[in-house]
Chains A and B, each alone.
Chain A
């Protein structure tokens, strides 16, 4: 009997928070499952959308890179060079956007049922992750077409995927919690995503920023504060067999910022969680 004892009090930290989260993993699974099922319902080409959107982005970004003569390493096809950056970027963009809006779009659940609220954004990330795996087919296809084989370094890819996951979840959680109260973020999020596409090394490579003597140190420093710079540089390093260098300072700043975001995101989310049902 007492194993299910629940005490409800204002302001107390739930000491069983993470255990509770674990107990609700079934719901986590079902919410992710729902979002996957619903994602392309009543669309003519369904899951192909997960391929077409990144593919078009790759073509456009590769074209602009070619037009403005951005430097790419010897022996690496430009399409693969761009694809290695577009895929993690798309993953970040979609999971950031959807996590941020996840609480709002599930508001009917939040006001009617109890569960650890963290489940909602977490299950959203999983759906985006699956989309990412589907879109990875593009990269494999391009490698076949361009006859480009990756080397052993590709085994480190999961680590960088994890970094992308941490980044988007951290920022997403923070914005999701803010979004419950301030709907301004509804307008801000698309802007951040659009802006990020240009300031992240997608059409160009990080070497062009770090190696350019006309760019002041301060700008380089600000550039490396973008956590996606670390993620994308990492992806390129793995996929392109180390032909693009990893800039250690910039890279570690990115990792540090990603992890910091995750802590802030989770902390703020938990702090605001209790009042979600009141203000949403």
Chain B
């Protein structure tokens, strides 16, 4: 089982960026005139000005994938994830390096590639299936399964241009989910459809990988990557920053993401002319100390210092607490308890505080999001600071401690009855 199935050696891919004519395609005219010019001018250094620049989308990337491994490829936008998948799926050729793949590859870089809007659902299943590399008999055998998975039985003979976007995506994913390759390459396709369908897709992907197939998976949905993959590769600016088990790599990624940027204290940097703006936000523990790490049994107090230069009607604040997977755990705004405390905001500096009760947030890392808004915001400048604070909740008190995996940290009292 531990034989290497994909071997990537020193892969690089460069693109030429043109700075002056940013047109995607060259006009024949340009080529002809340039050729003509270079005949007539002895030194063509003058018209060969540095208008182009080499850009390395991938730079010396090497890794190996063994059979049956599920590898997540993560990294920021522009890190080279999609280029890597395109090279692996043979859509673009690398500039340097060598890749050896042992096995049938199916790549899914987009949901519904080649779907034709004029064709019916039935026809598109066949078309899309064959584009993804299935043979006609394979599609025939799996046809009923695909239709059942997609839940669009009733509309099979309707042109897909009349489908709702949800139906379209379901049908497209259903075809893809029934591919039967040894190696499956998937790019960000789970980012579509409603939550329930996403869950279904993820489940299907898990089934696929549990059958011993090798999966390469790119996603920004960290929960999905963690859920599905056992290994991960972190790309950064076209190079492999780190590879290893999914938990280790993911932590590195999430920490590097806003390291140094967010902590338990936020202070405004830009001096713009907003009517209402956040000057400062701080978090305090129950002892009144500034903190960014809290015990589960502690109340968390957040103080906001807001500068009001001009009164804004109907102003309110909204906060959200998010975990690393961007799941919302708490949402609240100043209108939860009426009257809205912001109605009485005075011109000048105002201070507000909110308290997150103890035993609510589970052990983990969190982000605090703040927005200030008004239904009259057209005529007023109101700042929306966004993610402002980052904090951690730990459990070093109870016996269970960090083993506690629940979504909340409520502790229950056990009694004799």
A181 partner residues in chain B, CB cutoff 8 A: 25-26
Contacts A8-B90, A279-B24 known; list 15 others, CB within 8 Å.
Answer: A5-B101, A5-B102, A7-B98, A7-B101, A9-B93, A30-B127, A34-B127, A38-B116, A113-B113, A113-B132, A114-B89, A181-B26, A184-B29, A185-B28, A274-B93
Tell me, rounded to whole Å, the shortest Cβ–Cβ distance linking B228 to chain A.
Answer: 22
**With A10-B93, A10-B96, A26-B136 as contacts: A4 and B103 at CB distance below 8 Å:** yes
Please, how many angstroms separate the alpha-carbon atoms of A11 and B95 in the complex?
8
A109 partner residues in chain B, CB cutoff 8 A: 113-114, 131
User: A6 at interface (Cβ–Cβ under 8 A)?
Assistant: yes
A-B CB contact pairs (8 Å), 11 listed: A5-B101, A5-B102, A8-B101, A26-B136, A111-B91, A112-B114, A113-B91, A113-B107, A182-B26, A275-B93, A277-B86
Q: Are A1 and B113 in contact (CB under 8 A)?
A: no
Give the number of residues in A that approach B within 8 Å (Cβ atoms): 38
User: B262 at interface (Cβ–Cβ under 8 A)?
Assistant: no
Among residues 1 to 26 in chain A, which have CB atoms less than 8 Å away from a CB atom of chain B? 1-2, 4-11, 26
Q: Quick one: closest B residue to A184, CB to CB?
A: B28
Tell me, rounded to whole Å, the shortest Cβ–Cβ distance linking B1 to chain A.
Answer: 12
- For B28, B87, B93, B109, the residue with the greatest tally of chain A CB atoms inside 10 Å of its CB is B93
Interface stretch (choices B118-126, B145-153, B330-338, B369-377): B118-126
Q: Are B92 and A277 in contact (CB under 8 A)?
A: yes
User: A147 at interface (Cβ–Cβ under 8 A)?
Assistant: no
Tell me, rounded to whole Å, the shortest Cβ–Cβ distance linking B19 to chain A.
Answer: 17
B104 partner residues in chain A, CB cutoff 8 A: 4
Q: Are A182 and B118 in contact (CB under 8 A)?
A: no
Please, how many angstroms separate the alpha-carbon atoms of A54 and B20 in the complex?
47
Among residues 326 to 357 in chain B, which have CB atoms less than 8 Å away from a CB atom of chain A? none
B94 partner residues in chain A, CB cutoff 8 A: 8-10
User: A37 at interface (Cβ–Cβ under 8 A)?
Assistant: yes
User: A74 at interface (Cβ–Cβ under 8 A)?
Assistant: no
Please, how many angstroms separate the alpha-carbon atoms of A26 and B27 in the complex?
35
Q: Quick one: closest A residue to B9, CB to CB?
A: A9
User: A183 at interface (Cβ–Cβ under 8 A)?
Assistant: yes
User: A214 at interface (Cβ–Cβ under 8 A)?
Assistant: no
Neighbour of A182 across the interface among B27, B89, B159, CB < 8 A? B27
Q: Are A279 and B25 in contact (CB under 8 A)?
A: yes
Tell me, rounded to whole Å, the shortest Cβ–Cβ distance linking B206 to chain A.
Answer: 24
**With A8-B87, A182-B31, A183-B25 as contacts: A2 and B102 at CB distance below 8 Å:** yes
User: A27 at interface (Cβ–Cβ under 8 A)?
Assistant: yes
